[in-house]
Amino acid sequence: MSAVAVKPLRLAVLISGRGSNLLTIARECQAGRLPADVVVVVSDQPDAAGLPAARALGIAAVSVAAADFRRDGRFDTPAFVAAMAQVIDPHQPDLVVLAGFMRVLSADFVARYAGRMVNIHPSLLPRHKGLHTHERALAAGDTEHGVSVHYVTAELDGGPVLLQARVPVLPGDDPASLSARVQQQEHILYPMVIDWIARGRLQCIDGQALLDGSPLREPLQLGPGAP
């Protein structure tokens, strides 16, 4: 049986920092293991380490500095998201990938990329939405922690969860050790979800995730049972 050619999915990746997820995804694309191309990287932080690292891989990487949108002590979200869209849209992305983008986006921006935007969040959603998830998992005495990839909707960290990976919380863990364990899983999980989207297996229609055409009622779990 001959392999079916898949048109590479055009990815715009949004980052705020190191960009280890971005770099993992970009390397998988460039190695031909993921039918996708990172066509642009955008950061709200001009000094994000992921920007020069992306350029070193030959990828367009642009900063839209959040600091430039603070006016009279207030953050001008409409102007900021308009500037982001102006950078992103000429690259005609099929999918916007939030990879450690640490800024809440407006409902307008989310609507612009409805069904075409995914996020990775370092917790087992719906547990620990928001920031400092590793600290909060430890403070809560969780014995299990992990990571989720979800479609983005207007509700913060609230869109349909697609895939999760679980890790144990071990005696003596601190936020750094727990974060490192979670990140190992992130680098497996995110390319996997993007691969399913590129192959048309995963879709988001009217806020509902579909896997192979059927509603995804519960998040998939990384492991032997994964499709």
Alpha-helical (H) ranges within the chain are 20-30, 50-56, 77-88, 107-112, 133-139, 175-198
Shortest Å distance, C-beta 61 to ligand GAR: 13
Q: Which stretch binds ligand GAR (CB under 6 A): 19-27, 28-36, 108-116, 165-173?
A: 19-27
Return the half-sphere exposure (C-beta side, CA atoms, 13 A cut-off) of residue 101.
29
Q: Does 43 bind ligand GAR (CB under 6 A)?
A: no
Helices 20-30/175-198 angle, 10° precision: 40
The one catalytic residue in 121, 128, 145, 150 is 121
Instruction: Give the integer Cα–Cα distance in Å for 78 and 172.
Output: 44
Q: Is 18 in the site for ligand GAR (CB under 6 A)?
A: yes
Kindly state the smallest distance separating residue 150's Cβ from ligand GAR, in Å: 11
Query: Using CB under 6 A, which residues numbered 65 to 104 contact ligand GAR?
Result: 99-100
- Site membership for ligand GAR, residue 145 (CB under 6 A): no
**How far apart, in whole angstroms, are the C-alpha atoms of residue 193 and residue 190?**
5
- 160 contacts ligand GAR (rule: CB under 6 A): no
- Beta bridge partners of residue 75, listed in sequence order: 70
- Tell me the closest approach of the beta carbon of residue 186 to ligand GAR, in angstroms: 6
Would you call 145 a catalytic residue per the annotation?
Answer: no
Please tell me the count of residues contacting ligand GAR according to CB under 6 A: 13
Q: Is 172 left (phi over 0), alpha (psi -120 to 50) or beta?
A: left
Query: Any contact of residue 19 with ligand GAR (CB under 6 A)?
Result: yes
**Which residues ranging from 114 to 143 are in contact with ligand GAR (CB under 6 A)?**
120-122
d(CA 63, CA 48) in angstroms, rounded, equals: 9
Decide: helix, strand or coil at residue 200: coil
Joined together, the tokens standing for residue 190 give 């995110």
Least distance (Å) between residue 181 CB and ligand GAR = 11
State the residues that interact with ligand GAR by CB under 6 A: 15, 17-21, 99-100, 120-122, 183, 186
Q: Which residues are catalytic?
A: 121
